[in-house]
Each structure stands twice: as structure tokens, then as C-alpha cells.
Amino acid sequence: MKHRLALVEDNPDNRLLVQAILEDDYEIDEYENGIDALAGMAASPPDLVLLDISLPGMDGTEVLARMRDDDGMRGIPVIALTAHAMTGDRERFLGLGFDHYMTKPIVDVEALVEAIERLLAEAR
Ligand SMILES: [Mg+2]
């Protein structure tokens, strides 16, 4: 059975790109904002989350914080996706409790799949 990933991303082009890269190997639930994502994931928890940081309304760090406060979602691995890479970002996002950090646009598909597979294996 395919693992289920939640993709939380407000940019349709980025959603399309991630779908194209991952849809053969994973089932993907798409969410356009944090509120919808938290509601959907609480009802139907994914195996892993790809979480955009810059989202309308509630940003990705807040979505992560709420997941970590929730008994049902606390243990789900979360990969941060961010378009504005800056020095120290990696440490900052890992410090916030993200399990991994990827910059957009995603050019290194292999690195993304490797991170997903590693985190799924660790979560088992
Ligand atoms: Mg965004």
C-alpha cells in the first residue's frame, strides 16, 4: 500500500510540481492553507507532511506547532518547504521541530524522495 502524504502549499504551480514528482509512489492529500490542513489531517492523518512555510493566514511554523500539541498528529514527520532560503534557516527550522528542511523550487528530486523514505522508515 502506498504511503499517504499531506502537501500543504498555497501555490498551485508548486502543488502541481510536487504531484508530478511524487504521485506515482505516494497518495497525496492536498491542502491550500493551514486551517484546512489541520482539520483534514486530524480527521485522516497522513504518514508524512510536506509543509510550506509561507501560507496565507496561518504560516507553516504555526501549523507545525499545532500538530505537535495534538495527540493524534504529534508523531507525524514534517518536512518544511521554503522558497526564501537564508543562512541559518536549516538550524532554525530543525530547532522549531521540523524533521527535515527543503528549499523550493525542488530541483533535487532524489534528495526529497530520500528524505521522505528515511523519515517514513524512522516513524515505523
Ligand atoms: Mg506559500
Question: What fold characterizes domain 3-123?
Answer: Rossmann fold (3.40.50)
- pLDDT for 12 equals 96
In angstroms, the CA 16 to CA 32 distance is: 12
**Per-chain residues with Cβ under 5 A from ion ligand 1:** 10, 52, 54
Euclidean distance between the first and the last CA atom of the chain, given in angstroms as a whole number? 14
How far is the centre of ligand 1, averaged over its atoms, from the C-alpha of 10 (Å)? 5
Q: What is the pLDDT of residues 15-69, one digit of tens each?
A: 999 999 999 999 999 999 999 999 999 999 999 999 999 999 999 999 999 999 9
Please, are residues 35 and 57 in contact by the beta-carbon 8 Å criterion?
yes
Confidence category of residue 84, pLDDT binned at 50, 70, 90: confident
- pLDDT for 85 equals 75
How far is the centre of ligand 1, averaged over its atoms, from the C-alpha of 32 (Å)? 9
Confidence category of residue 78, pLDDT binned at 50, 70, 90: very high
Please give the full DSSP string across the chain, using - where no structure is assigned.
-PEEEEEE-S-HHHHHHHHHHHTTTEEEEEESSHHHHHHHHHHS--SEEEEESS-SSS-HHHHHHHHHTSTTTTTS-EEEEESS--TTHHHHHHHHT-SEEEESS---HHHHHHHHHHHHHHH-
How far is the centre of ligand 1, averaged over its atoms, from the C-alpha of 38 (Å)? 16
Domain parsing of the chain, residue ranges: 3-123
Place of cell 509543509: 51
Confidence category of residue 87, pLDDT binned at 50, 70, 90: confident
Q: What is the pLDDT of residues 95-109, one digit of tens each?
A: 999 999 999 888 889
